[in-house]
Structures are given as structure tokens and as C-alpha cells.
Structure 1
């Protein structure tokens, strides 16, 4: 499938106890944690690329600049909408917006890089030696 700037994808999540700041260690409140929101944003970006990379390739996150602007309690659904802004070679730039049922909760600029799975894992596992 062809990859084009402007392509979008969405990821969503029902906030439960496992998503909260007290569980993720980023605070002590039962609200959606910033690390979990970042993971949801990355998930939305990976959905844009899903099925569009060469066989044996995947993407990894390399940077994210994120603002978490509103808290979300347990029981609400949150979603992230990722838009592919540009790509060059193996680098992909995204803009991501996040929402809960009450409105906007955050935004991010995110970069991903395409990697060869086998080579990437060989390098990672070599760290054990």
C-alpha cells in the first residue's frame, strides 16, 4: 500500500485502573497517566504505517514532544488521532491529537523510524553479551 502525507489513523482505550498515574508510577492519582497517553499516541502513529512498510520491517519511536493538557478519570474512553505530516527515507513525522469524551486532552509531535526487524533485534540482543 502506498504511503502519503496526510494519512490518518486512530487508536482508542477505555481508561481503567491499569492506565492510571498511580499504577504507572507517574503520580499518585487515579487518572490517565501521561506515559499511558504517550503509548496510545504511538499506537495511533503505528496504525498509519500498518501494512505499508516493506516485509521484515517495523517502526520504532525515536522522539516525542507531548503536552498532556487535561486529566481523564477511570471509566472514560480516550482516543488519539495521528496524522502523517511527512516522511523521508526511513523517517516519519506525525502530529497527534488526543481526546476524551469531554474534549481535547493533549497533542504531540512524534518521529518514528523504519527498521529491519531481524537486524534491529540482533543489535538489541547483543547488549546481553
Structure 2
């Protein structure tokens, strides 16, 4: 088993806020943005460990979102992925600039053959 880690600092932008998801006037980091950013970081962090023709896909997520980050605030996304064959177990934490935990959770991913996966979905021809 091997471990992959990544940390990225991201400023909360207007398009990241809960107002984009129907919560008018709530200019704070949204749960969907946290989830999407974490997923993107997983893809980026795991890419160098993949063989040609492989990709990773999400298979599950469990998370809490317990504090707010205001528009313009810089937040830290930290992921740690334990890679065991095709199975990948990720833990993640999102932290504010004052070290308050905004969100944490677990995410599972799987390594798949990209061409076969896309064929199965009908995205590319057989």
C-alpha cells in the first residue's frame, strides 16, 4: 500500500458560495464546492501514480460541513489517499486560515481502465 498526499490553498470565490445553490445572501463556501474541489484534488494527486490508460472514479463519500468560510477567505484542502491495488481510500480536511475545521470526511475511489469505463457508459464506441 502506498500513500499520496496533497495540500492546496484556495480563495473562496463568488461562484464557490452557497448563493449559487439557492441560498440567497449566503456568501460562504458551499458544500457542493467543497466536494467538487476535493474530488478534483484527488484526481490531480493520483494521476502520477496511474498507468497509461487508467483513471480513477469516485465510488462513495461521507463528509461533515461544520463551519463557514466567508467570500474571499483562503482555505486549505488537505487530502491523504491510501492506495491498495485498485482501491483508494481518501481522508480529507478543509481548514480556514485561523485553523478552524470547516469540513472533513472520507472518500472512496477506484482505479479503472479509462477506455472500457467510457465504452460501458456509451461515451465512446466499442
Do they fold alike, i.e. is TM over 0.5? yes
1:91 counterpart = 2:87: yes
How far is the alpha carbon of 1:26 from its aligned partner?
5.6
- Name whichever of 11-20 and 67-76 sits farther off: 11-20
Instruction: Give the gaps of 5 or more residues in structure 1.
Output: none
Partner of 1:4: 2
> 1:105–1:98: structure 2 CA closer, same or farther, 3 Å change rule?
same
Give the equivalent residue in structure 1 for 2:110.
113
| Cα RMSD (Å) | 1.7
**Contact 1:10 / 1:47 at 8 angstroms: preserved in 2?**
no
C-alpha separation in 2, matches of 1:11 and 1:112: 20
The aligned runs of 1:45-124 (5 Å cut-off) are 45-84=42-81, 86-103=82-99, 104-124=101-121
Shift of 1:12: 3.0
Describe the SS at the equivalent of 2:48. coil
Q: Which runs of 5+ in 2 are unaligned?
A: none
Aligned residues: 121
